[in-house]
């Protein structure tokens, strides 16, 4: 071994040093960085880089690497050197530039330079992308009985995204500020005048493994399914991270809000009592080279009524939950485990005399989450009174397991799942026990990349037992089959999908139903024109009643540009027809929106893009049973402008 | 005779009055029985149908009660009333009956799973004798799985998880509806944007899992008109849902649709020899792109380990870069982005993977 490697090592070392010395001496003569000057900090986002090369060269015998990116192919090659204007913004900080010249004799001449950039004098990194849209509409034509369309309306939206970074600090602000006024009252939750529709102000600090994030505005909180999941509300959030430890606390307004509500303090979402706010803390730490993690969560608060975008049957509610999660991943996602136990205290109606109920939930999950083969086994128990504010769609009073697996091969992809769940987990004799069994298989055939085929089948059985005398037994079987093929070729997209589902009520009630849906969609997309027609047919059948209802839906979307992109047009129309087999109902509806706009100029005064156009709405309803028929055509004059500006 | 006739008249009057008092009115509730889920508040639409032949014109009730035997579980203080048609003697009073959690809890405390809701109507009029009658709804309580098919929660949101978003003109947009429900049954509804049906939804919901319904790719949500737009998921069956709105605003700024770059070679999941000469990456791009960025990533990596800009539709590795970046036996991914003359990112490709074949170590006999 020594005989082999010792001379080899000497050759390598001597070659390295001779090359280095050669590069250093010759390179200083041949290659020079003109702009930016070496070692100098320049204030620019895309600084022009200029180099002189005093030896004849071409692109083929040159290699230029900027921060690890090969930029040789996009250099502006000149006889005395090259120039490069970055395509993307260079991040603030140090930059390395390596230039390698391959000489005709086979030698390489290499020279390395460093320079640094910052985006502004005050901040290393600073940008603000803004856009102001203003739209004015005025009625040209509308029927007198149409009372929901205002004769005139003005809307203006200011969208802004700003980022500042200096040292270890970074701040970002995203927001939409909107002004609306019209000749009719606005529907809730919109309000006339100026309104701060949304905002998110973030501050970050990071240094030596320490990270701090503070957010205020429209935040989103995710912890676990049994505690907080997908909670997008207005409020504040602070997280602290040091190496393998993460701590977080948040406080948000329970009700989702649109716009600026409750003054400066109220609009932050962090002022008020826990009757209408949700507060939480969580901590997570990793052990054993991040193979084991432990997480604890505590969330408390209250909520009243509906929110913007949400309807619920529930009244005022209040509750808290404490959760504990232990996860392991010793085999690089090939066998990961997660165990969670949660304890809740929830009052489903704060107006009554009953106090909150205590309950618990737990789950155990084992699975492989990476690679071509994945599998998962999940067992979960959720008590009859287990509810949380942070995930109100969570199903309670259930116990059971799911086994699922999938494989993703070259041209085949298959996913299987089997589950068995039951309710009435405490076997209360007042109620029946309902078992839900479900099996599903999804298959995708990918041999033809431009035409993947997918099929799925799902069978569900709902079966009750131990029914008290007052409760009617239930036994329902549901079969669902779906299939689809999409053919995508260049600008064309053809898709055929079909879905069949049948629900078989096996009790004496015989409340069966079946649904057949056939969908055909197609689209043709060019640079300045696209058209997307679609057709859907659905037949619903209720065998016991001997009735059926057919629904035909035809859609057409067209959009395009003409006259050197100065004229833009769009149309979206739907024809919908429903007809009952027994003739009890038959109705046709047509809804169409269209717009034609002409650009009055682009980048006027460097930033103004005004346009004028016509907007139309045509609606027609024809009830062939009752004989009611009405149609309406509304035409509006539209003046709009876009004003993007960045700095 | 006169006396006899007088007594007969009085007798007839008494009989008639008694008949009128006993058979004057009948009130039935529709539906006459409902099944609700325990543990949460339930709301149902109830219609009280009144038939009265006494000539009264108004039936009114100031309150109703939830009762189980002699126990009162709760009271509803919402008044309802119905005008009675003088010709048909028929009237109906509709109400949205809310059954609070506390009523169900009191029933559970009494260990009963069935109770009644009763409303007493006072029937009056100018030419009739005021009298009373009651309407009864039988309420059965069961678990959520066995309850009547009802929507209990509907939440609309966009990709930002909020019911409000701002998008650019012609920007693709998707919306979602999270639906919680009790029981199992056929959901019928449709997505509606600014009053126009986008797509119909008719699907069986089976108790045991939450359901998220999303807007289709085609037809997409309209974003060609600037300004405010309202989106709803209209549920036509089962009934009883107050439909929330979601709002999206389309700005006049044009969305730049990214064009697709097709990767040509090497094929996806190709195995390549450890040699820079074997490494020529080619693709087919759009005419708009004046520069391309080829990115190479390691498995599971988010940031590229090496990138290269080029104006051509191919890239060959310089020897020095190849040796310093790739290792024999390694698995990597590659993708391409396209930029227009104003350096806007206008095109992108899928991500392909490739594996570099293991280098066979030289045998000792090969080394001289």
> Taking CB atoms and an 8 Å limit, are A557 and B218 in contact across chains?
yes
A544 occurs within a structural domain: no
CB burial readout A235-247, b (16+ within 10 A) else e: bbbbbbbeeeebe
Residue A134 near residue A97, CB atoms below 8 Å: no
Nearest to A85 by CA among A42, A52, A49: A49
Q: Which two tokens stand for residue A122?
A: 């005050």
> How far is the C-alpha of A7 from the C-alpha of A13, rounded, in Å?
10
Task: Name residue A405's beta-bridge partners.
Answer: A375, A416
Nearest 10 degrees: Cα torsion B219, B222, B224, B227? 180
Q: Which of A311, A387, A503, A612 has the most B C-beta neighbours within 10 Å, making it the best mutation to test the interface with B?
A: A311
**DSSP 8-state class, residue A146:** -
Q: Is the pLDDT of residue A10 over 80?
A: no
> Taking CB atoms and an 8 Å limit, are A436 and B208 in contact across chains?
yes
- Res A281: pLDDT: 97
Residue A517 near residue A498, CB atoms below 8 Å: yes
* pLDDT tens, position by position, A96-148: 999 988 888 878 888 889 999 988 888 888 889 999 999 999 999 999 888 88
Q: Which of B225, B249, B256 has the most A C-beta neighbours within 10 Å, making it the best mutation to test the interface with A?
A: B225
* pLDDT tens, position by position, A157-168: 999 999 998 888
Q: How far is CA A261 from the centre of its chain?
A: 26
Locate the chain A residue with the closest alpha carbon to B262. Answer: A490
- Res B18: pLDDT: 44
Q: Which CB contacts under 8 angstroms, 24+ apart, belong to A364-367?
A: A364/A337, A364/A338, A364/A339, A364/A340, A365/A337, A365/A338, A365/A339, A366/A335, A366/A336, A366/A337, A366/A338, A367/A335, A367/A336
Residue A304 near residue A255, CB atoms below 8 Å: yes
> How far is the C-alpha of B242 from the C-alpha of B151, rounded, in Å?
10
Q: How many helices (H) and strands (E) does chain B have?
A: 3, 27
> How far is the C-alpha of A461 from the C-alpha of A441, rounded, in Å?
15
| Burial of A132: CB neighbours in 10 Å, binned 0-12, 13-18, 19+ | buried
Q: Phi and psi for A389 in degrees, rounded to 5?
A: -75, -30
Last residue of a domain, one of A337, A368, A399: A368
The residue written with tokens 């792109």 in the block is: B289
> How far is the C-alpha of B154 from the C-alpha of A310, rounded, in Å?
6
Nearest CA to CA, how far is A591 from chain B (Å)?
5
- Do A142 and A235 belong together in one domain? no
Task: Name residue A593's beta-bridge partners.
Answer: A572, A617
Task: Count interface pairs A-B at CB distance under 8 A.
Answer: 320
Task: Name residue A137's beta-bridge partners.
Answer: A153, A638
Q: Which two tokens stand for residue A4?
A: 């082999």
> Taking CB atoms and an 8 Å limit, are A423 and B144 in contact across chains?
yes
Q: Which two tokens stand for residue A181?
A: 């006024």
A421 occurs within a structural domain: no
Give the domain extent around A320: 208-346+358-368
Nearest to A56 by CA among A27, A23, A31, A79: A79
Structural element, H or E, at residue B16: helix B2-23
- Do A85 and A131 belong together in one domain? no
A301 occurs within a structural domain: yes
Of A433, A438, A644, the CB nearest to B208: A438
Q: Which two tokens stand for residue A381?
A: 């128990």
> Taking CB atoms and an 8 Å limit, are B41 and A348 in contact across chains?
yes
Residue A499 with chain B: CB contacts under 8 Å? 203
* Cα→Cα distances A528→A524, A559, A568, B13, B291, Å: 11, 8, 9, 88, 21
User: Which residues, 6+ apart, have CB-to-CB distance to A475 below 8 Å?
Assistant: A461, A462, A463, A464, A505, A506, A507
The residue written with tokens 């000539």 in the block is: B55
> Taking CB atoms and an 8 Å limit, are B100 and A352 in contact across chains?
yes
- 3-class secondary structure, A544: coil
Residue A431 with chain B: CB contacts under 8 Å? 38, 113, 141-143, 146
Residue B224 with chain A: CB contacts under 8 Å? 559, 570, 572, 595
As a whole number, mean pLDDT of residues A84-107 equals 87
- Res B360: pLDDT: 62
- Do A253 and A154 belong together in one domain? no
Task: Name residue A158's beta-bridge partners.
Answer: A132, A177
Q: What does DSSP say about strands A62-66 and A93-102: parallel, antiparallel, or unpaired?
A: antiparallel
Q: Phi and psi for B17 in degrees, rounded to 5?
A: -65, -45
Nearest CA to CA, how far is A501 from chain B (Å)?
7
Residue A590 near residue A617, CB atoms below 8 Å: no
Residue B207 with chain A: CB contacts under 8 Å? 434, 436, 462
> How far is the C-alpha of A200 from the C-alpha of A178, rounded, in Å?
15
Last residue of a domain, one of A118, A139, A167: A118
Q: Phi and psi for A480 in degrees, rounded to 5?
A: -130, 125
- Do A255 and A181 belong together in one domain? no
The DSSP-derived string for B126-188 is: TTS--EEEEEEEEEEEE-TTTS--EEEEEEEEETTSSSEEEEEET----EEEEEEEES-EEEE
Could you tell me how many residues make up chain B?
A: 368
A38 occurs within a structural domain: yes
- Do A221 and A362 belong together in one domain? yes
A326 occurs within a structural domain: yes
CATH of residue A49:
2.60.40.1220
Nearest CA to CA, how far is A467 from chain B (Å)?
10
Residue A372 with chain B: CB contacts under 8 Å? none
Of A134, A312, A593, the CB nearest to B153: A312
> Taking CB atoms and an 8 Å limit, are B207 and A311 in contact across chains?
no
Locate the chain B residue with the closest alpha carbon to A312. Answer: B153
Locate the chain A residue with the closest alpha carbon to B346. Answer: A527
> How far is the C-alpha of B349 from the C-alpha of B268, rounded, in Å?
12
- Do A223 and A180 belong together in one domain? no
Q: Is the pLDDT of residue A525 over 80?
A: yes
> How far is the C-alpha of A62 from the C-alpha of A83, rounded, in Å?
13
**Confidence class for position A3, pLDDT limits 50, 70, 90:** very low
Last residue of a domain, one of A118, A150, A168: A118
Computed over every residue of chain A, the mean pLDDT equals 88
- Res B54: pLDDT: 81
Nearest to A489 by CA among B345, B255, B287, B262: B262
* HSE value, Cβ hemisphere, 13 Å, CA-based, for A65: 18
Nearest CA to CA, how far is B9 from chain A (Å)?
51
Residue B232 near residue B144, CB atoms below 8 Å: no
As a whole number, mean pLDDT of residues A312-337 equals 89
Residue A63 with chain B: CB contacts under 8 Å? 318, 320-321
Of A348, A424, A642, the CB nearest to B101: A348
As a whole number, mean pLDDT of residues A427-455 equals 92
> How far is the C-alpha of A516 from the C-alpha of A539, rounded, in Å?
5
Nearest to B134 by CA among B73, B48, B33: B48
> Taking CB atoms and an 8 Å limit, are A310 and B156 in contact across chains?
yes
Nearest CA to CA, how far is B309 from chain A (Å)?
5
Structural element, H or E, at residue B108: helix B101-109
Task: Name residue B166's beta-bridge partners.
Answer: B249
Of A69, A534, A642, the CB nearest to B308: A69
Residue A453 near residue A484, CB atoms below 8 Å: yes
Evaluate the omega torsion of the peptide bond into residue A189 and state whether it is cis, within 30 degrees of 0.
yes
Structural element, H or E, at residue A23: helix A2-30
> How far is the C-alpha of B200 from the C-alpha of A519, rounded, in Å?
11
Residue A60 with chain B: CB contacts under 8 Å? none
Residue A601 near residue A566, CB atoms below 8 Å: no
Locate the chain A residue with the closest alpha carbon to B317. Answer: A70
* Cα→Cα distances A133→A114, A315, A643, B193, B253, Å: 42, 40, 6, 21, 7
- Do A234 and A364 belong together in one domain? yes
As a whole number, mean pLDDT of residues A507-523 equals 92
- Do A222 and A323 belong together in one domain? yes
* pLDDT tens, position by position, A447-481: 887 888 999 999 999 999 999 988 889 999 999 99
> Taking CB atoms and an 8 Å limit, are B166 and A159 in contact across chains?
yes
> How far is the C-alpha of A383 from the C-alpha of A361, rounded, in Å?
6
Structural element, H or E, at residue B252: strand B246-254
> How far is the C-alpha of A98 from the C-alpha of A136, rounded, in Å?
54
Q: Is the pLDDT of residue A583 over 90?
A: no
Nearest CA to CA, how far is A158 from chain B (Å)?
9
User: Which residues, 6+ apart, have CB-to-CB distance to B22 below 8 Å?
Assistant: none
> Taking CB atoms and an 8 Å limit, are B152 and A159 in contact across chains?
no
Nearest to A194 by CA among A152, A156, A150: A156
| Domain count within chain A | 3
As a whole number, mean pLDDT of residues A601-621 equals 90
Q: Which of A171-185, A264-278, B95-109 has the lowest mean pLDDT?
A: A264-278
- Do A70 and A165 belong together in one domain? no
* pLDDT tens, position by position, A22-78: 444 455 578 888 888 888 888 888 899 999 888 888 888 889 999 989 999 999 988
Locate the chain A residue with the closest alpha carbon to B145. Answer: A434
- Do A222 and A363 belong together in one domain? yes
A389 occurs within a structural domain: no
> Taking CB atoms and an 8 Å limit, are B164 and A478 in contact across chains?
no
**More confident of the two residues B256 and A305:** B256
A467 occurs within a structural domain: no
Q: Determine how many CB atoms are found less than 10 A away from the CB of residue A334.
A: 14
- Res B9: pLDDT: 56
A325 occurs within a structural domain: yes
- Do A232 and A318 belong together in one domain? yes
Structural element, H or E, at residue B311: none
- Do A259 and A319 belong together in one domain? yes
Instruction: Give me the average pLDDT of each 10-residue run along chain B (368 residues).
Output: 57 47 71 90 91 86 93 92 85 92 92 93 87 92 90 94 94 95 93 94 87 92 94 93 94 86 84 76 78 86 86 85 80 90 86 80 52
Residue B164 with chain A: CB contacts under 8 Å? 197-198, 258, 308-309
């Amino acid at each position: 071994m020594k005989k082999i490697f010792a001379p080899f090592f000497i050759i390598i070392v001597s070659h390295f040093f001779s090359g280095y010395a050669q590069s250093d001496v010759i390179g200083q003569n041949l290659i020079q960085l003109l702009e930016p000057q070496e070692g100098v900090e320049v204030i620019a986002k895309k600084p022009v880089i200029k180099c002189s090369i005093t030896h004849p060269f071409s692109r083929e015998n040159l290699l230029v690497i900027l921060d690890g990116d090969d930029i040789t192919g996009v250099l502006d090659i000149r006889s005395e050197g090259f120039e490069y204007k970055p395509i993307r913004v260079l991040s603030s900080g140090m930059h390395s530039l390596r230039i390698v010249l391959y000489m005709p004799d086979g030698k390489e001449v290499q020279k390395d330079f460093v320079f640094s950039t910052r985006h502004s004098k005050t901040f290393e990194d600073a940008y603000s992308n803004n856009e102001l849209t203003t739209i004015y509409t005025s009625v040209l034509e509308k029927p007198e009985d149409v009372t929901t369309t205002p004769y005139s309306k003005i809307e203006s939206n200011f969208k802004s995204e700003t980022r500042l970074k200096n040292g270890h600090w970074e701040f970002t602000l995203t927001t939409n500020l909107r002004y609306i006024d019209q000749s009719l009252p606005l529907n809730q939750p919109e309000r006339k005048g100026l309104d701060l529709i949304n905002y998110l102000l973030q501050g970050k600090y990071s240094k030596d493994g320490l990270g701090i994030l503070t957010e205020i505005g429209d935040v989103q909180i995710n912890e676990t399914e049994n505690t907080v999941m997908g909670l997008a509300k207005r409020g504040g959030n602070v997280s602290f991270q040091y190496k393998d430890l993460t701590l977080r606390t948040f406080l948000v307004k329970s009700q989702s809000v649109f716009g600026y509500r409750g003054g400066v303090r109220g609009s932050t979402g962090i002022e008020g009592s826990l009757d209408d706010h949700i507060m939480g803390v969580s901590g997570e730490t990793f052990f054993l080279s991040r193979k084991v993690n432990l997480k604890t969560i505590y969330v408390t608060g209250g909520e009243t009524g509906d929110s913007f975008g949400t309807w619920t049957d529930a009244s005022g509610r209040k509750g808290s939950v404490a959760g504990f999660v232990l996860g392991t991943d010793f085999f690089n996602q090939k066998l990961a485990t997660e165990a969670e136990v949660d304890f809740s205290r929830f009052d489903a109606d704060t107006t009554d005399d009953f106090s909150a109920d205590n309950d618990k939930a737990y789950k155990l999950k084992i699975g492989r989450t990476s690679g071509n083969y994945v599998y998962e086994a999940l067992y979960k128990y959720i008590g009859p009174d287990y509810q949380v504010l942070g995930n109100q769609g969570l199903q309670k009073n259930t116990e059971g397991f799911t086994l699922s697996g999938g494989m993703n091969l070259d041209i085949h992809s298959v996913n299987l799942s089997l589950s068995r769940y039951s309710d009435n987990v405490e076997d209360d004799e007042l109620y029946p026990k309902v078992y839900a069994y479900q099996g599903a298989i999804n298959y995708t055939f990918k041999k033809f990349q431009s035409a993947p085929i997918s099929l799925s089948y799902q069978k569900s059985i709902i079966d009750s037992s131990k029914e008290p005398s007052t409760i009617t037994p239930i036994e329902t079987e549901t079969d669902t089959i779906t299939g689809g093929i999409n053919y995508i070729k260049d600008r064309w997209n053809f898709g055929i999908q079909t879905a069949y589902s049948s629900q078989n009520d096996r009790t004496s009630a015989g409340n069966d139903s079946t649904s057949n849906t056939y969908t055909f969609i197609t689209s043709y997309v060019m640079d300045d024109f696209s058209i997307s027609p679609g057709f859907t047919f659905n037949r619903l059948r209720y065998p016991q009643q001997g009735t059926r209802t057919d629904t035909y839906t035809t859609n057409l979307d067209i959009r395009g540009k003409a006259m050197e992109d100065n004229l833009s047009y769009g149309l979206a129309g739907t024809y919908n027809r429903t007809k009952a087999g027994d003739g009890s109902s038959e109705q046709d509806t047509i809804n169409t929106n269209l717009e034609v706009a002409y650009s009055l100029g682009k980048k006027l005064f460097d930033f103004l893009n005004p346009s004028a156009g016509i907007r139309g709405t045509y609606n027609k309803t024809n009830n062939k049973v009752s004989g009611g028929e009405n149609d309406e055509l509304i035409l509006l004059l539209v003046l709009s402008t876009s004003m993007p500006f960045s700095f | 005779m006169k006396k006899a006739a007088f007594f007969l008249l009085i007798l007839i009057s008494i009989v008639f009055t008694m008949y009128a008092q006993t058979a004057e009115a009948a009130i039935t509730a529709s539906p006459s029985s409902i099944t609700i889920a325990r543990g949460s508040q339930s709301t149902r639409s109830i219609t009280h149908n009144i038939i009265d032949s006494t000539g009264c014109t108004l039936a009114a009730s100031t309150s109703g009660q939830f009762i189980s035997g002699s126990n009162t579980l709760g009271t509803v203080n919402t008044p309802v009333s119905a005008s009675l048609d003088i010709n048909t003697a028929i009237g109906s009073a509709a109400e949205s009956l809310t059954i609070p959690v506390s009523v169900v809890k009191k029933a559970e405390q009494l260990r009963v799973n069935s109770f009644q809701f009763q409303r007493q109507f006072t029937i009056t009029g100018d030419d009739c004798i005021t009298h009373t009658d009651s309407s009864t709804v039988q309420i059965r309580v069961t678990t959520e799985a066995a309850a009547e098919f009802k929507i209990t929660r509907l939440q609309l949101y966009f990709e930002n998880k909020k019911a409000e978003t701002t998008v650019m003109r012609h920007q693709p947009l998707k919306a979602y509806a999270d639906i919680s429900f009790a029981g199992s049954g056929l959901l019928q509804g449709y997505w509606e944007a600014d009053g126009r049906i986008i797509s119909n939804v008719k699907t069986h919901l089976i108790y045991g899992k939450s359901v998220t319904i999303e807007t289709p790719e085609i037809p997409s949500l309209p974003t060609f008109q600037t300004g405010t737009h309202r989106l709803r998921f209209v549920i036509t069956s089962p009934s009883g849902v107050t439909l929330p709105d979601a709002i999206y605003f389309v700005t006049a700024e044009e969305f730049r649709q990214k064009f697709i770059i097709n990767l040509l070679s090497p094929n996806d999941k190709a195995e390549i020899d450890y040699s820079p000469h074997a490494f020529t990456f080619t693709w087919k791009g759009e005419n708009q792109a004046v520069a391309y960025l080829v990115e190479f990533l390691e498995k599971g990596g988010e940031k590229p380990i090496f990138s290269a800009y080029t104006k051509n539709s191919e890239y060959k590795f310089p020897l020095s870069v190849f040796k310093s970046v790739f290792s024999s036996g390694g698995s990597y991914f590659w993708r391409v982005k396209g930029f227009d003359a104003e350096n806007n990112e206008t095109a992108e490709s899928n991500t392909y993977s490739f594996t570099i074949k293991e280098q066979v170590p030289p045998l000792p006999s090969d080394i001289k």
